Amino acid sequence: MPTRVGIDLVSVQSVESSLQTHGRRYVDRVYTAREQSDCRHEGGFDAERLAARFAAKEAVMKVLRPQAAVPWSSIGVRREPRGWASIEMTGAAAELAAELEITDVALSLTHEGGLAAATVIATIADG
């Protein structure tokens, strides 16, 4: 089966800056309700976790290769009960994935030293 790969690297500082400059408006425009819940802590949001999720969104965009705008919030990272993360798509992202006949999406996230990275591998139906 054909595959597509997307990878992205995000500075945690850039996410911290967006949080400071735009606050809730930034969070609501970019992140799903589930992501916001997963990344919330007593003092607000964990910028390192948000950065990893933003990297995942960028990596998915590289897989989807959209010709028109796809809202950031239509791509979400879901923490699975057993600890790993997965991608869930809704709206425009899900429609594009269906058009491309993407049958599976694998995600790997990491963060360290002020950077967050994500790799996405999508399997496309052999039609």
pTM (whole model) above 0.85: yes
For residue 1, the model assigns a pLDDT of 79
- State residue 118's pLDDT score: 98
Dist CA 38 CA 31 (whole Å):
10
Write down the pLDDT at residue 103.
94
- Structural domains of the chain, count: 1
Which domain, by its residues, includes 84? 3-124
Distance separating alpha carbons of residues 57 and 50, to the nearest angstrom: 11
Question: What element of type H or E holds 11?
Answer: strand 3-11
Q: What is the pLDDT of residue 127?
A: 60
Three-state secondary structure call for residue 10: strand
For residue range 31-84, what is the model confidence (pLDDT) as tens digits? 999 999 999 998 899 999 999 999 999 999 999 999 999 999 999 999 988 989
Indicate the average pLDDT of the chain.
96
109, 86 Cβ separation under 8 angstroms: no
DSSP, collapsed to helix, strand or coil, labels residue 69 as: coil
CATH of the domain at 32: 3.90.470.20
